[in-house]
Every structure is written in structure tokens, then in C-alpha cells.
Amino acid sequence: MRQIALLVVLILVSSVLVYFGLVSLDLFPAEASAQAETIDWLFNLELIAISFLFSLIIVPLVYSLVVFRRKPGEEGEGEHIEGNTKLEIIWTVIPLIIVLGLAYLGAWSLGDALRVDPESMVVEVTAFQWGWKFYYPEFGVTTSELYLPVDQQVLLEMESRDVIHSFWVPEFRLKQDIVPGQTTELRVTPIELGDYTLRCAELCGTSHSYMNTPVIVVSGVDFLGWVDEQIALIPDDPGPNADRGEIIANQNGCFACHSVDGSVIVGPTWLGLFGSDVELSDGSVVIADEEFIKESILEPNATIVAGYPPNAMPQYIFSDEEIADIIEFIKTIQ
Ligand code: CUA
């Protein structure tokens, strides 16, 4: 009896030490969404259960190794024990209750994380190799960074232009795959002002690891100010416009593969591209004029620049005006 009492005390002390040891590792970044609060609450409960179960197994094991080890002169065999029905029922029923309880809490926290706020703001998210585009239908604004007002639920309606990507902001805790051919929804309520990073969490090709973009959570007033800035940014003159071309190129992720400073990322740099001689993979040389650049955007595999692999660039759909804007921008990078 004294040994059991001692074991119970050791198990409890070990549980507490293991739990606080795990907590001190600081496993999670900031808790920046309402959904994160529920998820972290459940995770903490599981940490407690894990610490206790770990101690329940390891402490009696170590205790037996030390206290019941063979004494000098002890030659005989230990006592033979043939099962114990009462014990077996106990160690089946108690874990069953715990697992059912965790399943209930898991379903409850999932329901809480998916709770619908009818006032939520819609943002249409487009994922593509290798970047993100955000469209705010309420304001007619398109950006490559995700700006969100604090304390308001946002409904992300997500689509992929090519392969499977995954929306993941560690501080929001939620993660959602984006599958081509369908719209996937995710609801987030940011509760903490700050700068975070959206990362693609599904291996999606050469530049998967660079498929990041800033997520900026600002106050409601700052958000509306930012929207006005975005609307004012877009030049509305009709002809080809280099500034607008840069915005379009940025929104469509062109800079994930094409630098403007001469460095080689995935594709050829745009620095000094316009009007230059370009050697193709078949050995011929062409001049990078309007016609060549337009073809390279709309049909990337029609010609391949020497030294670059084919099929690396996805096909883009742009209007003639948008392509003229992009070319106008490329002309300015000399
Ligand atoms: Cu997109 Cu990984």
C-alpha cells in the first residue's frame, strides 16, 4: 500500500514536470485569431493528457527497474500471474471514456473554428505557381498582400489556377488546401494587430518554398485608409502604362520567377530584356520585342530561352491592354 501511494505521488509530480517542460518549449507563435484560442485550448488539454499518460507508463517502469531488481543471491523465478479481469476492464474502460471525451471536444472546437458570422468580409484568394492574389469584391481592389481589419471575420473564398496549394498562417493556426476546379472556404477572425506571413503548405513545384506573402492585420480605420490608397494607386489613363504594368506583374506573381535586378531566380531576368538579343534553346537568336514578349506570356512553351527548362512557366490569361501595360513596364527596366 505504501508503495502504491509513493507511485501515485511520483506519477503526479512527473506529470506536472513533463507538462511544464513541454509548455516552456514555447511550441506555438503568437495567438492571432479567435479560432486559434479554441484550438490552443484543446491542444493544451491534450498536452496535459500526454504528460499524465507518459508519466503513468514511464514512472512505474523505472520504479520497478530500480525497486524490484534482482537482489544478490536471488536465483528463483518470479511469481507467475495469469491475467486479471478486473484490471483489464479498468484499463479498457477508462481510456475509452478519455478518447470519447477528446473526440467530443475535438468536434466542438472544430465547430467553433468554423462558426459563421453573417457580417464577414469576403476576400477572393487565388493561389498559383508561385504566388497569391487577393481580390476584395466590396472595394474592387486587387493586391498581392493580404490586409485584414482586426476583430472582423473574413471569409476567404479560395481558388487555385494550377495545382494544389495550401493556405497557412501559423499565427491563425488554421490550414486549408486549395484544390483546382473548386472554391474552398476558410473563415478567420484576426484578434491581434501585427505582421504575419502566409505560407503555402503543400509542395507545389520548384518555388514552393518561396510561395510566401505578408499578412498585415490593422485596425478597421487603417484598413479603410489602405483600401483608399489601393484604389488611388491604379492609374486610369487608357494607353499602356508602366506603373499599372508593374502592379499587374506583382499581383500575378511574375516576380517570383523573374527578377528586375539581373539576378536569375527561376526564369530569365527582366533587366535589360526589352530590345536585347535572346538565344533560344534551338540555337536561334531573336530580338525581345513586343511580339516575342507577348508570345512568351500567352504561350510560354512556344519558344524556350537557352539554359532554361521547358514547362517551367504556367500559361497566363491577360487582355491585350494588360499585356501592353506589362511590356511598357519591362521597357523601363534597363
Ligand atoms: Cu503553392 Cu506550395
Quick check: do 121-233 and 242-331 share a fold?
no
Q: Whose CA is nearest to atom 1 of ligand 1?
A: 165
Average pLDDT, the chain: 88
- Positions of E strands within the chain: 121-128, 131-136, 141-143, 146-149, 154-160, 165-168, 175-178, 184-188, 194-200, 212-218, 277-279, 285-287
Ligand 1 centroid to residue 206 C-alpha, Å: 9
Residue 245, pLDDT score = 86
What integer pLDDT is reported at residue 328 of this predicted model? Answer: 87
Greater model confidence, 164 or 235: 164
Using the predicted structure, report yes or no on whether residue 124 has a pLDDT greater than 90: yes
Higher pLDDT, 78 or 165: 165
At 154-180, the pLDDT tens digits run 999 999 988 999 999 999 998 999 999
3-state secondary structure of 45: helix
251 vs 146, more confident: 146
For residue 25, the tally of other CB atoms under 10 A from its CB is 7
Residue 204 Cα: closest atom of ligand 1: 2
Tens digit of each residue's pLDDT (9 = 90 or more) over 272-327:
888 888 888 888 888 888 888 888 888 888 888 888 888 778 777 788 888 888 88
Q: Give, in words, the CATH class of 121-233.
A: mainly beta
> From ligand 1's centre to the CA of 181, what distance in Å?
16
Q: Domain ranges in the chain?
A: 2-63+86-113, 121-233, 242-331
Residues having CB closer than 6 A to ligand 1 are 165, 200, 202-204, 208, 211
Which residues fall within 8 angstroms of residue 231, CB to CB, at 6 or more apart?
139, 140, 141
Cβ–Cβ < 8 Å for 109, 41:
yes
Q: How far is the CA of 267 from the centre of ligand 1 (A)?
A: 17
Q: Cα torsion at 159, 161, 162, 167 (round to 10°)?
A: -40
pLDDT of residue 221: 93
Higher-pLDDT residue of 313 and 44 is 44
Q: In this predicted structure, what is the pLDDT of residue 200?
A: 94
State which ligand 1 atom lies nearest to the alpha carbon of 209. Answer: 2
The cell for 332 is 523601363
CATH topology of domain 242-331: Cytochrome Bc1 Complex; Chain D, domain 2 (1.10.760)
| pLDDT of 28 above 80 | yes
Cα 185 to ligand 1 centre (Å): 17
CA of 132 to the centre of ligand 1 (A): 10
The predicted model gives 222-234 an average pLDDT of 87
Look-up: residue for cell 504575419? Answer: 196
